[in-house]
Each structure stands twice: as structure tokens, then as C-alpha cells.
Amino acid sequence: MIRIVAAILGFAFASPAAAQFYTGNKLHELCEKRNGISLGYAVAVSDWVMTEMRKDACIPDKVTTGQLHDIICGFLTNHPEARHDPAHFLGARALIEAFPCNK
């Protein structure tokens, strides 16, 4: 659990500036429309997680874009208290919870 928190905090400080523009609230709005922006955001977050947090999240190769989208958007739906946080932070948290690596 400590590794997950450390990874998420590291992600928050190491992410590109462009990722800071969306909060969970904004991404949740986009998720409800299930448009290309929210689908692309889910893929981008999963690529980042697989590259930078591969010890914390083990996303299977056959996971689809739709599944990534549903996991991240479902997390936002189920955690309205956290939606003010940066969307990339919440997306990473969702994927780490959904696909934890077996330690």
C-alpha cells in the first residue's frame, strides 16, 4: 500500500503540465459522453502507468481501450469525493486498484 501511495505521489509531481488541465470532474463529464477525448485519456494514462508504475499495476496485454475507459470512468463515478484531484492521478489510482501486481 505504501508503494502505491508513493507511486501515485510521484506521478502527481512527474507528470507533464498538459495533464494538469483536467480534474476528475472534467474527465467525469467527458466519460459520461464516452467520446474520443475520454477514451484517449484512458489510453494515455494506462500507457504512463505501464511505463512508470509497472511494479504496482500489471495491466494485461489483452485489455481493451473500452475496458480501460470503463475502469477509470467507473472509478470516477464511484469516488465523487475525489473528483477535484487531477484526472491523471485518479486514473492511475483506478488502474493500480484494478490490476495490482502479485507481490
Q: 38-94, pLDDT tens digit by residue?
A: 999 999 999 999 988 778 899 999 999 999 999 999 999 999 999 999 999 999 999
d(CA 101, CA 103): 6
Instruction: Give me the pLDDT at residue 5, please.
Output: 46
> Domain span at residue 92?
2-15+22-98
Residue 60 lies in a domain: yes
Asked whether residue 10 carries a pLDDT value surpassing 60, the answer given is no
d(CA 100, CA 1): 10
Residue 30 lies in a domain: yes
C-alpha cell at 94: 483506478
Residue 37 lies in a domain: yes
pTM over 0.85: no
Residue 89 lies in a domain: yes
C-alpha cell at 53: 508504475
Residue 103 lies in a domain: no
The total number of structural domains that make up the chain: 1
